[in-house]
Structure 1
Amino acid sequence: MRFEGTRDYVATDDLTVAVNAAITLERPLLVKGEPGTGKTELARQVAAALDAPMLEWAVKSTTRAQQGLYEYDAVSRLRDSQLGDARVHDISNYIRKGKLWQAFEADQRVVLLIDEIDKADIEFPNDLLQELDRMEFHVYETGETIRARHRPIVIITSNNEKELPDAFLRRCFFHYIRFPDMETLKRIVEVHHPGIQGALLTTALTQFYQVREQQGLKKKPSTSEVLDWLKLLLAEDLTAEDLKNGPALPKLHGALLKNEADVHLFERLAFMARGQR
């Protein structure tokens, strides 16, 4: 069971090595990188390449680790008891299975994505240590122990919004997705916009990297944003010459610049450039 990338996802050599190392070690793969660099999509493509079902647990600021295991709905049970419902005699009727439980009881090996783990409380990763390590957990309400039939391939993403505990990091195989260079980005664009005219692509990506490297930029545009930008350029039937002859502020810049401070930065640069002519 090896991941070699897919037709729809350009995986660099170091990324494929990381995925396969995590699978071999049976450790969670912790993937970090800028937002929009394909961390979440990686899990979906690993599942597709290995022909494995995928379960996705999207973490929010209010998410608790227990929700990934199960939740006991005591309120519904109390309501049903007041109504005389016979279901109250079986407590399992009020156990809601979480994503880890679903992954553990699956009939085949699944890919489990724990997406944006850094959004949750700092104790969230530590609360999952034993379950991810031993691949089992206890259900106190029913007295049963749930063990994984097949150890899932666990992929965990983080945008680095907060540091993760050392004890959690020790149990993971780590990989940082670096922002792609020009040639790799061209390969990614070819997957999403096949046959794009070479001169347009080169000119657009040159401008894109100039935007990313601009000093004082608050938010650098990501891979997903340059793909959106190129889609708009193609929809407007713009050429390389249109981009070269345009203002310092890129055409259709709303796809690349996502806050007013960055837009004002490029407007000032354009004004200064005109004053120096």
Structure 2
Amino acid sequence: MAFAGTSTYIATDALRLAVDAAVTLERPLLIKGEPGTGKTLLAEELAHSLDTRLITWHIKSTTKAHQGLYEYDAVSRLRDSQLGIEGVHEVRNYIKPGKLWEAFEADRRVVLLIDEIDKADIEFPNDLLQELDRMEFYVYETDQTVRARHRPIIVITSNNEKELPDAFLRRCFFHYIEFPDHQTMQNIVDVHFPEIESRLVAQALEVFFDLREVPGLKKKPSTSELIDWLKLLMADELSRETLYQRDPSQAIPPLAGALVKNEQDTALLHRLAFMMRRQRGGQGR
């Protein structure tokens, strides 16, 4: 298999090679990178390019590995037994398959996304080692083994909120999505807005990359936030004109709420603008 991106997803050469390597090795593809760099979208576009189904397991801080296999609802079974509900003696009626079970039983190869694995407890990745290695797991309540009919392509994303265990890392093919350079970002914008005014893109990208270089910024704006900002600018002629005529010493960019997401960074940008105005005033004297 050769993944070359899609008409709506720009994949670098390094990312394409990483996807192909993971598939060839039959290893999960562990993707890291800044938030908003397209980690989750990669799995969606990969499934689209293969014309197959995407099964997504969104991980939370309370998620347990066993939930990806199955859950046995003993409480409902006890309640139904007290009420005399028919079928209570069949334990299968109280087992809910998880996302891994769903992927293993699919009638064709699917893409399984384990999204933001680093949000879970530190033991979560280790608890999945055997299942991801052997592509099977045992259901104690029904005395059955669930095996993958077709080995799924597994994409695992992480935002580096916590370190993952070495034993888990050894079983993955790792790729870090570097933040797009200016030309790659231009290509991404062209995919999303093929009819966009070139002047707007040039000015917006200059402001965007300058903003990311501001020292002390708590949260740098991401690719997805740039796309949102451009969408707003395209819809607001007054904001576009403000951007074209923008004086760096006056204020933060128009509609900056799409790019700057906390009060600390907003205050920082206002302070920098104030200092620049004072510096210009001093030079004028």
Q: TM-score, normalised by structure 2?
A: 0.95
CA deviation after TM superposition for structure 1 residue 273, in Å: 1.4
Which residue in 1 is equivalent to 2:154? 154
- Is 2:49 the counterpart of 1:49? yes
Cα shift readout 1:81-137 (whole Å, capped 9, x = no counterpart): 001112111100000000000000110000000000000000000000000000000
What RMSD in Å do the two structures reach over aligned CA positions?
1.1
Runs ≥4 residues deviating over 6 A: none
C-alpha distance in structure 2 between counterparts of 1:147 and 1:121, whole Å: 26
Which residue in 2 is equivalent to 1:210? 210
C-alpha distance in structure 1 between counterparts of 2:56 and 2:238, whole Å: 38
Cα distance change, pair 238–49 in 1 and its aligned pair in 2 (3 A): farther
Contact 1:248 1:269 in 2 (8 A): no
C-alpha distance in structure 1 between counterparts of 2:74 and 2:150, whole Å: 30
- Is 2:171 the counterpart of 1:171? yes
Q: Of residues 235, 255, 260 in structure 1, which corresponds to 2:258? A: 255
Cα shift readout 1:156-182 (whole Å, capped 9, x = no counterpart): 000000000000000000000010001
CA deviation after TM superposition for structure 1 residue 191, in Å: 1.1
More deviation in 235-244 or 15-24? 235-244
Matches within 5 A, 1:65-144: 65-144=65-144
Contact 2:233 2:240 in 1 (8 A): no
- Is 2:13 the counterpart of 1:13? yes
CA deviation after TM superposition for structure 1 residue 243, in Å: 1.5
Which residue in 2 is equivalent to 1:270? 273
C-alpha distance in structure 2 between counterparts of 1:259 and 1:242, whole Å: 22
Cα distance change, pair 211–181 in 1 and its aligned pair in 2 (3 A): same
Matches within 5 A, 1:20-59: 20-59=20-59
C-alpha distance in structure 2 between counterparts of 1:239 and 1:85, whole Å: 64
Cα shift readout 1:247-269 (whole Å, capped 9, x = no counterpart): 34111110000000100011011
Cα distance change, pair 6–238 in 1 and its aligned pair in 2 (3 A): farther
More deviation in 190-199 or 65-74? 190-199
Q: Does the residue aligned with 1:78 lie in a helix, a strand or coil? A: helix
The one-letter amino acid paired with 1:93 is: N
C-alpha distance in structure 1 between counterparts of 2:263 and 2:87, whole Å: 56
CA deviation after TM superposition for structure 1 residue 207, in Å: 0.6
Contact 1:2 1:50 in 2 (8 A): no
Q: For structure 1, which runs of at least 5 residues remain unmatched after alignment? A: none
C-alpha distance in structure 2 between counterparts of 1:227 and 1:244, whole Å: 18
- Sequence identity percentage: 69
Contact 1:219 1:258 in 2 (8 A): yes
CA deviation after TM superposition for structure 1 residue 242, in Å: 3.1
C-alpha distance in structure 2 between counterparts of 1:51 and 1:218, whole Å: 39
The one-letter amino acid paired with 1:73 is: D
Contact 2:239 2:255 in 1 (8 A): no
CA deviation after TM superposition for structure 1 residue 197, in Å: 1.3
Q: Does the residue aligned with 2:137 lie in a helix, a strand or coil? A: strand
Q: For structure 2, which runs of at least 5 residues remain unmatched after alignment? A: 281-285
The one-letter amino acid paired with 1:132 is: L
Q: Does the residue aligned with 1:109 lie in a helix, a strand or coil? A: coil
Contact 1:139 1:145 in 2 (8 A): yes
The one-letter amino acid paired with 1:83 is: L
More deviation in 207-216 or 229-238? 229-238
C-alpha distance in structure 2 between counterparts of 1:130 and 1:267, whole Å: 53
Contact 2:239 2:254 in 1 (8 A): no
The one-letter amino acid paired with 1:210 is: D
